[in-house]
Structure 1
Amino acid sequence: MAARKSDARPIVAVIVFLVIAMCVYFLILGRMAYRLLEHGTAVSIGLGIGIFILPLLGVWMIVSTLRSGIEHQRMAADVAELGRELDVDDLPRRPSGRIERDAADELFAQVKQEWEADPSDWVRTYRIARAYDYAGDRSRAREMMKRASGQYRQAKA
């Protein structure tokens, strides 16, 4: 039986709604900053500059998050196309749906051995990032996913 592809439209709709809501919020903050700058006092200028920086930071965070999310989706699709996804369907799970710790650790040990054979391969780095995630080590998973992204960009260049 072929794996059913999930419908991403609800997730995309929520993301679009949240981005639009954040843009409206940034416009309101920008207008507030402009009004503070118009007052011309040292305190209002300082607050205006500080408030004006917030929307700029917010836009940068949204753009970088969306870019990395899109890149991770592309990597996942390429790994699936290569038939190199981690098979976790048969691993025992907790009632919460998370993979049992021992099974996740065993999977990680296998993937780590594979990765150590060639750490420059983006697919192997992607797989170890996923294995770290399944094992519950989120910080290392993020670190390795960043590394996999860099390797992926180099491989596609």
Structure 2
Amino acid sequence: MSARIGTIVMAVLLALYLVAVAQYAFLLLGSGDAIAVGIGAALIVLPVIGAWALLSEILFVARGNRLVARLGAEGGLPEDDLPRSPSGRIDRAAADLEFPTYQAAVEESPESWRDWLRLGLAYDASGDRRRARWATRQAIAFERRERRAEA
């Protein structure tokens, strides 16, 4: 829960920062000085990129959480029985040993969003955040296709 609160606080702070930069950019654009107008025009790009990045991350997290909740309701989440350190971190060596099971499941059914999501969770447990995000994005895409096909 504290991670969620921290994320919300950081997102709000980023949004406030983007608003402040946009306001400053518009002030520079209205100044009439050629250099200030050029800097103001360049500063417009930063809030646009920042807002896009913030929105895409929020949507990714919301979609990923929805899939995890759905898989959990179906009883399909992997058993969380990996050994942990005293601080609560998962033992990466133990997570790495279970990883081939989830990788084989994806290879067996490459269009199953459930298997892709489990693979993403395995990557996350192994500490490979980049691949965890990639596998979760695959799961989101396959689940979307499945929903569209059912509609």
TM score, norm. by length of structure 1: 0.83
Q: Which amino acid aligns with 1:109?
A: P
Kindly provide the CA deviation profile for residues 37-69 of structure 1, in whole angstroms up to 9, marking residues without a partner as x.
122233212210111221112211121111111
Superposed, which structure 2 residues align to 1:1-157 within 5 Å? 15-88=7-80, 90-157=81-148
Q: Which moved more, 1:147-156 or 1:70-79?
A: 147-156
- What is the rounded CA distance, in whole Å, between the counterparts of 1:32 and 1:113 in structure 2? 53
Q: Which amino acid aligns with 2:42?
A: G
- What is the rounded CA distance, in whole Å, between the counterparts of 1:141 and 1:15 in structure 2? 19
Shift of 1:74: 0.6
Q: Determine helix, strand or coil for the equivalent of 1:67.
A: helix
Shift of 1:104: 0.5
Task: Note the aligned Cα RMSD (angstroms).
Answer: 2.0
Kindly provide the CA deviation profile for residues 129-157 of structure 1, in whole angstroms up to 9, marking residues without a partner as x.
11111112222111111111111111122
Shift of 1:72: 0.6
Q: Which amino acid aligns with 1:124?
A: D
Kindly provide the CA deviation profile for residues 72-129 of structure 1, in whole angstroms up to 9, marking residues without a partner as x.
11100111011110112x2211233222233211211111122211011000000011
- What is the rounded CA distance, in whole Å, between the counterparts of 2:85 and 2:73 in structure 1? 29
Q: Determine helix, strand or coil for the equivalent of 1:86.
A: coil
Percent identity reads 30
- What is the rounded CA distance, in whole Å, between the counterparts of 2:112 and 2:92 in structure 1? 27
Q: Which amino acid aligns with 1:105?
A: D
Q: Which moved more, 1:21-30 or 1:111-120?
A: 21-30
Structure 1: which 5+ runs fail to align?
1-7
Structure 2: which 5+ runs fail to align?
none
Closer, same or farther in 2 for the Cα pair 1:132/1:56, shift >3 Å?
Answer: same
- What is the rounded CA distance, in whole Å, between the counterparts of 1:110 and 1:144 in structure 2? 15
